[in-house]
Homo-oligomer: A and B are copies of this chain.
């Protein structure tokens, strides 16, 4: 277990809790946690802290946290903002392992608050006391009844203990989510809201959950991220541990991102890069609270098929068709069942459609024994990875429901490890009955299939959990310098790093140009190289298709003359000579320094794909070949690389290698490089490699 997880354990599993600002008034923030813990029966010790001392809610109170005679795992701090720093200093002095700070009035409010918050960060760093908040709603341990929150949600019910850890940067969304989870009967292991994140942030908590043996699913609400490396480490760890991560990250729209920035002090980061990171590590990105809960609930049963064959058993043919549509939309196959299975089903139910979906019609309701045999055949001989059973409004039948409740436990006993979703209108107690048997119950069949799709994607991601090693750069690779390079130097730098950039030379006179052309091979292109000339063609600075030495000499002289006339006084580095390359599929490779994740590689097809359709995809650097291949397949224009429109297939492997190498180069030079463009990057016919015709390296500006 990592140090980070170790340091957060007293906050997720506290055995002794000090409540600083404790109150006898059970409606006050400093009174509620004590009251709720007493009511729920927290098994650890509670130490109210209040300058007045005495007794609070029947417990001995201390006037200062330093007076508590025992070790304190967690302090809950509910005093006005101006008094928080002193209390946290006291906690650090007393060796309190962690503190949850409810108080608001920090960085979200004023510059004074910002200073206080900065001081809190310092205390955390120097003392090792981990701080959650300020301006947060606190934490909850469902099993031990440790309550470090002022939420009043326990007035109307207690969540069920289970294996889902819920994390939220927002207190209000966090408590809303926890109530939703309770209402839906989800099993919750722990709950943490991180607020202003002066110390502990959501990525730290993810890391704890990823390593925590009691957590099997991590459900997250987030707006931004302060520790991108930690986030990626946590995602990697969770994947290695086969723990699904379900994340509702807001700020996808521009107006949403603006609102997110006004809501917390988080750095939102380009949403597309967040999206790429989640995809890269197999996290499921939910787009509503409902989806966050539904996918988390489905995942908590712990079954993740790594292939995508769906069997459907339905008492309605129409729902069968609907299921096929939903399966196709979610990357699932509904394959025809093997002949043996079809034959057995037909013998069993001559009236049924048996291909898959298996449509038993309402006849199955006349003989529930058929349900058992139907499921046995489907599960034993159907060769499917997941099964959806649709039974409409069966839950309302006082006659049939008891029979179904006799049949399905036997099916589960016989097939303990099969992923089975049960889609029907069920009363809450019946739903709980089937969920205890690991039948995931989702009333709407389309939504059930969406959830199955998510579980299959988790399974596929877990199957390739071992992070691949990014390639190493060739021995001759040089670090990127801090200053600006012209295109010839930039090309040489990237070529030395193993990237296929067309070789070019900078020449000073016509004779040098002719020699360079002969060395590089005709035909060639000539271009003026000058940091002061942006539009080279407009000043007569470009000549293409030069087939021999004479043409090169003449073109060189003409360029020099034209530039002198049209851009008088411009500093000119020289005239670049490069071989002409044509053909292949035009793509664009780029790197930018993402404000959150740092060097990030972009890939897209050239021309209208990038300019009109914005058909691009991202990965955080560095990454390996497999990841590069995934990236390439993600763009809509991918069929062009496979050889659409009668073209030969392109050299996708060469492209993948270039992307992976570019990512390594970008990561290694993150301190000096802000951006790289290889545009156009031509992917030639399979086996013939790829080549960038132009290279740009933008140095870091600050």
Which residues of A approach B to under 8 Å, CB–CB? 152-153, 155-157, 168-170, 172-173, 175-176, 179-180, 183, 221, 223, 248, 250-256, 258-260, 262-264, 287-290, 315-322, 324-329, 334, 353, 355, 357, 359, 361-362, 392-393, 396-397, 425, 443-447, 607-609, 611-613, 636-637, 639-640, 644-645
> Given the complex, which residues of B lie within 8 Å of A289, measured CB to CB?
322, 444-446
Q: Are A183 and B644 neighbours in the complex by a CB distance under 8 Å? A: no
The 8 closest A-B pairs by CB, nearest first: A253-B328, A172-B316, A288-B446, A170-B318, A263-B317, A256-B324, A173-B318, A156-B396
Q: Which one of B153, B255, B290, B322 lies within 8 Å of A250 (CB-CB)?
A: B322
A335 to chain B: closest residue by CB: B255
Complex Cα spacing A204 to B153, Å: 52
Decide yes or no: A608 and B645 within 8 Å by CB, A172-B317, A179-B396, A316-B176 being known contacts. yes
List, in ascending order, chain B residues with CB within 8 A of A639's CB.
612
What is the minimal beta-carbon distance from A274 to any residue of chain B, in angstroms?
12
- With both beta carbons as reference points, the residue of chain B lying nearest to A156 in the complex is identified as B396
**Is A640 in contact with B608, judged by CB distance below 8 angstroms?**
yes
Question: Once bound together, how far apart are the Cα atoms of A210 and B441, in whole Å?
Answer: 37
Say whether, besides A253-B329, A289-B445, A325-B253, A176 and B608 are in contact (CB < 8 Å): no
Cα of A397 to Cα of B637 in the assembled complex, Å: 53
Contacts of A252 in B (CB 8 A): 325, 328-329
Q: Could you jot down 11 A-B contacts, CB within 8 Å? A: A153-B396, A156-B393, A253-B324, A256-B324, A287-B325, A287-B326, A608-B608, A608-B637, A608-B640, A608-B644, A611-B645
Q: Are B328 and A254 in contact (CB under 8 A)?
A: yes
A425 touches B256 (CB 8 A): no
- Residues of B contacting A248 in the complex (Cβ-Cβ under 8 angstroms): 322
Which residues of chain B have C-beta atoms less than 8 A from A324's C-beta? 250, 253, 255-256, 258-259
Cα A613 to Cα B443 in complex, Å, equals: 35
The chain B residue sitting closest to A286, CB to CB, is B446
Residues of B within 8 A of A640 (CB): 608, 612
Which residue of B172, B173, B176, B444 contacts A288 across the interface (Cβ within 8 Å)?
A: B444
The reply to whether B155 and A321 contact each other, CB–CB distance below 8 Å, is no
For the complex, what is the distance from the CA of A168 to the CA of B392, rounded to whole Å?
Answer: 15
Q: A318 touches which one: B263, B328, B357, B637 (CB < 8 A)?
A: B263
Distance of A339 Cα from B183 Cα, bound (Å) = 40
Kindly list chain B residues whose C-beta atoms are within 8 Å of the C-beta of A155.
Answer: 396-397
Task: Look across to chain B and name the residue whose beta carbon is closest to the beta carbon of A317.
Answer: B263
Minimal Cβ-Cβ distance residue in B for A168: B318
